[in-house]
Homo-oligomer: A and B are copies of this chain.
Amino acid sequence: MVTIEPQATRGDAFDPECPTRVVLDRIGDKWTVLVIASLEGGSLRFSELRARIGGVAPKVLTQTLRAMERDGLLTRTVHAQVPPRVDYELTPLGASLTGPIATLTDWAETHLAVILASREDYDTAFDAR
């Protein structure tokens, strides 16, 4: 039982505006999910996000944040003061993404053991290397 039909699927994959692709590209990104998780508790400043997530280069964080802002997942608020202060906050749209993500996370945690076991089997079976 799927929303996607074979025919539609084919076309969708190459349509950059396919809803599924738009969303998949976003949450397939390593940092987007982290940002959403970090902002669930409320707005955070750039440096706070950086510290919270850890190990992310400012350039990459900025890219992620910009993409998410562009998609309306979060708001970027610049406070006119010195030193500068910029707050990021999830929009209702962004917050609503936590649902689907949680679904994925649950599935992942439930099935991880099986997947990992499968990998091990596969690797030991095929490793003639």
A2 touches B40 (CB 8 A): yes
Given the complex of chains A and B, what is the CA–CA distance between A30 and B22 in angstroms?
A: 11
- Copy number in this complex? 2
Proximity bits, A77-113, B CB within 8 Å = 1, else 0 = 0000000000000000100111110111111110110
| Distance in Å: Cβ of A107 to nearest Cβ of chain B | 5
Q: How far is the CA of A97 from the CA of B112 in the complex (A)?
A: 12
Whether A13 contacts B118 in the complex (CB less than 8 A), given A19-B108, A104-B24, comes out as: no
Main secondary structure of the interface of A (DSSP, over half): helix
Task: Please name the 10 residue pairs, one residue from A and one from B, whose CB atoms are nearest each other, closest first.
Answer: A28-B28, A72-B118, A19-B108, A23-B108, A19-B112, A70-B122, A9-B37, A103-B103, A100-B107, A19-B109
